[in-house]
Amino acid sequence: MQVRTRFAPSPTGYLHVGGARTALFNYLLARKHGGSFVLRVEDTDEARNTAEARAAIFDGLRWLGLDWDEGEGKGGDFGPYNQSERTALYDKWFEVLREKDRVYEDDGAWRFRFERKPVTMNDLICGEVTIDYNNVEINPDMVVRRSDGSYVFHLVNVVDDLEMKITHVIRGEDHLMNTPKHLQLFEAFGVEPPQYAHIPLTLNPNGSKMSKRDEGAKIGDYPRQGFVAPAVVNFLALLGWNPKTDEEIFTMEELVERFSIENVNRSPARFDAEKCAWLNQQHLLQLDPAAFAEAARPFVEGAGLPVTDRYPAAAAAVREKVRLLSEVPDALDFLLADEITIDDDALTKVAKNDAAKDLLGALADAFEALADWSADAAKETIGTTAKANDAKPGQLMFPTRVALSGKGGGPDLGDILAILGKDESVKRLRAMERRL
């Protein structure tokens, strides 16, 4: 049996973390077993559907790398893949229910006649769950067709899974109590249901249910904030799934290989923005310098910084200092800009060093005298200059860093000297000397 999973978003809002995680788990299961991942759209709510929301969902899935096999732009043997175009199929299966006397009219609407018996489902995550349909007051017959002729979620969802030959349904735990209803429909249709796996909800750090308005909920915000897709995928996978090892950094290929429904936790996952940023940093560190520079370029250009010949080396110098690509402009601005701003706290600290002014002047003289400029030679000159002026290297290192970068921290001083070059380094040392 070929594994077939699906993601069925409603285009009434953006792609949020919960939906993206659901899509990812379905994608991973299909890819692990060489199956198909289907994208179908539940677009029957005409009043709330928007083209913008539809595009945002598709763009979010593409950015994450969750490429579907059937659906929007791909076609497939079980289309159409928009519910709004599948009414004839719903009519067909509704007639099956009517022929079997499993539906009846009630004030213009049509209700599905439940079999009055306990229904047990064996959920792949939640285990065995039984709902007793003997109590009519608690579980009344459900409406499957409204008085205006439109069909409700329960019927169309089941028909779509049936017609598209879906074998596994991974969805949020909030759908858990819908499943026994769906199992009764599958039974009435005389077909085997898919296997169900209900994943726990995602909570905020304080334990409250994560809503679409909470921090980190909107997938479309992640690329703008400087996250890279592999890191977000890695983060989403760990929201509920456990590799059963101490490992935390995974590529998509590794997730496909390692993923299993059995290792999905039963308890809710808590969203951790700091963990997501840390994972992003780990994935940035796995990029080679050229790839990192290319990924950061839009943020650097967007900040109005000149992308000069210095840029590749500047980006490489700050790669280990940032967690997000959006942090790159602030980290390397001093390496690209002609004029730098000196941090007030750093300047105050330098000014407390009475010898800083003379030491910086002496270092500028020593740099100008260097015939062959290199990072090693420049750093060695800092040490010899300090020694020649009865100072420790550390007494000159910090003032030099602030003079060159305007900051108290940052990339290795040797990298800064190599990137700025001799003339620019001397120019900045002289400027700081005059300022003290």
Residue range 343-373, pLDDT digits in tens: 999 999 999 988 999 999 999 999 999 999 9
- Whether the predicted pLDDT of 208 surpasses 70: yes
Q: Among 229, 205, 210, which residue's Cα sits nearest to residue 219?
A: 229
For residue 104, what are the β-bridge partners? 111
Please give the sequence-ordered ranges of beta strands (E in DSSP) within 271-352, or none if there are none: none
Q: DSSP per residue over 33-47, as a string?
A: TT-EEEE-B----TT
Cα–Cα distance, 140 to 134 (Å, whole number): 10
Query: Which amino acid is it at 348?
Result: T
Cα–Cα distance, 25 to 265 (Å, whole number): 13
Q: Which residues contact 346 (CB under 8 A, 6 or more apart)?
A: 402, 406, 407, 408
Q: Spot the catalytic one: 117, 212, 244, 392.
A: 212
CB 392 within 8 A of CB 386: yes
Q: Is 427 a catalytic residue?
A: no
pLDDT at 215: 64
pLDDT at 214: 65
Q: DSSP per residue over 221-232, as a string?
A: HHHHHT--HHHH
Against a cut of 0.85, is the pTM above it?
Answer: yes
CB 319 within 8 A of CB 311: no
pLDDT tens digits for range 230-265: 999 999 999 999 999 999 999 999 999 999 999 999
pLDDT tens digits for range 61-99: 999 999 999 999 999 999 999 999 999 999 999 999 999
160 CB-contact burial (10 Å; exposed 0-12 / middle 13-18 / buried 19+): buried
How many other C-beta atoms are found inside a 10 Å radius of the C-beta of residue 19? 23
Q: What share of the chain is helix, strand, coil (3-state, %, to 5)?
A: 50, 15, 35
